Each structure stands twice: as structure tokens, then as C-alpha cells.
Structure 1
Amino acid sequence: MYSDITIKARCHEPSEAEAILLEQGAHFVGLDVQTDTYYETDYGKLKHRQGNIENVLIHYNRKLAGDAKETEVLLYLKNPSAETIAQICGGQQVLMQVKKLRKIFFIDNVKFHIDLVEPLGYFIEIEAIDLEGSIGADILSQQCNYYKNLLQIEDDDLVTSSYSELLQHS
């Protein structure tokens, strides 16, 4: 189990955000074409992400912490087999699929996504990750806020809903 703090916002100038990240020495991981399938679950969210870079089965719970979301990850399996997917998700109802193009960047423990979600448009996510529980929520929040300011993200552009929730209401 690990935790993270995430800020998501509408991104009006994705190329400008990318340039700022690269100026800061961000490592560009690549462009991921992702399909997230959400399954019915009693607690949190159960998601199977299929992409050309990221393939994971994840069960998590998020709660709002100011402008950010704090995530408790209960299950995280990289490259799960079809058998594992069937075992965990097979009896669960599919709630929704979200398709997106995601550019992935890293600076130390902070992951950045510049996402194109049709028909919603562009978004940017700042995800400060604590894999071992050694950083703490305060530092993670400080990292998110530092990059929020650096990327010139306005409070009006912050988004607290998931893509699946936004798509349901579009």
C-alpha cells in the first residue's frame, strides 16, 4: 500500500505546461494511449488501466484534502494477467470506460500527466507519491502546491471530480 496527493486541473496550454516541466528537468516517460475500465466495488474504486506504458489493476480510495485529493492505494498490480483480471473483476459490473491520451513526466517522486480526454479537453495532474511511507502528507502537499504555482494553475481551473464523474455529467 502507498499514498499520494494529487492535484488535477483543466489545462488551457498543454504545450506551455510541457515546456515548463522540461525546463525543470522532468523525465518524459512517453505518450500512453489508455483505457480505464471501472468496476463496481463496495469501497473506493476498482480500475483496470490498459495502456502502452501503464498496465495496472488498482483498487483505491480518495478523499478531498483542500484543493488536492489524498489517495490510499489498497491494491496495485502491474501488468496483471487475464486470469488475475477475471479473478478480481470477473463478477463485477463494468461501470464505465474512460479513454485518454496521457503524456507522462517525472521529477523525483512527483509524477505529472498531461491528459487529453475526449470530449472533455486537456487536463494536467500533479501526483506526489510516497511509496514507502517515508515522505508524509505534509511534504507531498507542499510538492503539489509548489508545482501548481510553477505551472501557473489557477484555483478556478482545479478539478476535484474524476474523469469518469466528469464524463457522466457531460
Structure 2
Amino acid sequence: MKNVEIKARVKEVAKIIERAKALSGTNGEIIKQHDTFYEVQQGRLKLRRFENGDAELLHYERPDVEGPKLSSYEKAEIKSESVSNLHKVLDKALGSVGVVKKVRCLFMIEQTRVHIDSVEDLGDFMELEVVLKPEQSVEDGEKIAYSLMKSLGIDKNDLISGAYTDLLKKK
């Protein structure tokens, strides 16, 4: 699967949430996530645990640059009874390189997932994930991302590169 992503720091989270509510026509969905990243040769691998005990194993590749970027990913859903054992196996085989805990408010605006994240020990951020349709190009996704950035009031100077785990390591 492929999407075009951006990530940005958020200074006024309440304003972004209000704009996202207006654009999506919803109040959003609150999701608590606990991500453990593992050492891999290529891309990133994380086990994302949810409050109900279930999880997702995600592998993704994307360049660490500011602004819109293509992200390719694969995802597997894991039922709660297997999550702990899977983490033990991955940690033993690969080693973990970081943990990110966040509360995410998810809004869907057409084909774009808008995440407004409060990340433990880092602060507030916003991610856009424009899910590309088979007939769409990366350029199409970039146009959608830039348009939504403008509608949400995100300044290009607030864009960041990398993953939250990278920011936590630098802290």
C-alpha cells in the first residue's frame, strides 16, 4: 500500500482540531497507541499496541525529509492473545530501538487520514496520510497534502522529517 505523508509540529492544537472537525464533518476518533520500534536493515518495523490489547505489525519505508513524501507499507493485524509473545520474539531476534506512546485523534477527510497526536515527552504533532488510489500519482498525493495543510493552517516551517522515535532519541 502507498500513501503520501507529511508530519508537522503543532503550536495551537485546539485550532487544528476545530479545523479538522469542520473539514471532516465528525468529532474524530481518539486512539491510544503504544509503538515499539525494532532494529531492521531497511525501513522501519513497529508493533503498534492498542488500548483493547490488539495490535498491528507495520513495516514501512519512506524518506526522512520534510514535506510530502511517498510511504510504502505493509500491515498485519494481531489479536490480543498473541501480542506479548510476538513482542518477545521480535525483541529477542531484532532488538527494540525505541518506544513511542501517544494519544491520537483521527479524522478522515476524503481519502486522507488526519492524525493529531499528543506524543509523550515530545508534544503535539499532526500527520497527514493521503492514501493513494491505484490511478493516482505521487504528485496527485502531494497536491492533496499541500491543499489540506493550507486548510488546516499548517505552515511549511512546522514540517519535520523522520519518525517520533527519532525525535525522542535526539531529546
TM-score band by shorter chain is 0.7 to 0.9
Match of 2:95 in 1: 93
Cα distance change, pair 86–16 in 1 and its aligned pair in 2 (3 A)? closer
Cα distance change, pair 98–70 in 1 and its aligned pair in 2 (3 A)? same
Taking the aligned partners of 2:46 and 2:8, their CA distance within structure 1 comes to 21
Taking the aligned partners of 1:33 and 1:86, their CA distance within structure 2 comes to 18
Taking the aligned partners of 2:121 and 2:67, their CA distance within structure 1 comes to 24
Would you say the 8 A contact 2:9–2:125 is kept in 1? yes
Would you say the 8 A contact 1:69–1:160 is kept in 2? no
Taking the aligned partners of 2:29 and 2:6, their CA distance within structure 1 comes to 20
- The TM-score with structure 1 as length reference comes to 0.87
Match of 1:158 in 2: 159
Partner AA of 1:19 in structure 2:
E
| Greater strand fraction, Structure 1 or Structure 2 | 1
Match of 1:72 in 2: 72
- Please list every run of 5 or more consecutive structure 2 residues that lacks an aligned counterpart in the other structure: none
Q: CA deviation at 1:41?
A: 1.0
Would you say the 8 A contact 2:66–2:161 is kept in 1? no
Taking the aligned partners of 1:86 and 1:165, their CA distance within structure 2 comes to 20
Would you say the 8 A contact 1:3–1:133 is kept in 2? no
Match of 2:128 in 1: 126
Question: Once structures 1 and 2 are overlaid, which stretch shifts more, 80-89 or 148-157?
Answer: 80-89
Taking the TM superposition and a 5 Å limit, the aligned residue runs for 1:4-153 are 4-52=3-51, 55-64=55-64, 67-73=67-73, 75-80=74-79, 82=82, 85=86, 89=90, 91-130=93-132, 133-153=134-154
Would you say the 8 A contact 2:3–2:131 is kept in 1? yes
Q: CA deviation at 1:87?
A: 9.3
Cα distance change, pair 65–26 in 1 and its aligned pair in 2 (3 A)? farther
| Greater helix fraction, Structure 1 or Structure 2 | 2
- The TM-score with structure 2 as length reference comes to 0.87
Would you say the 8 A contact 1:26–1:106 is kept in 2? no
Taking the aligned partners of 2:71 and 2:152, their CA distance within structure 1 comes to 22
Taking the aligned partners of 1:88 and 1:60, their CA distance within structure 2 comes to 20
Aligned length: 167
Would you say the 8 A contact 1:57–1:85 is kept in 2? no
**What's the C-alpha RMSD, in Å, of the aligned pairs?**
2.3
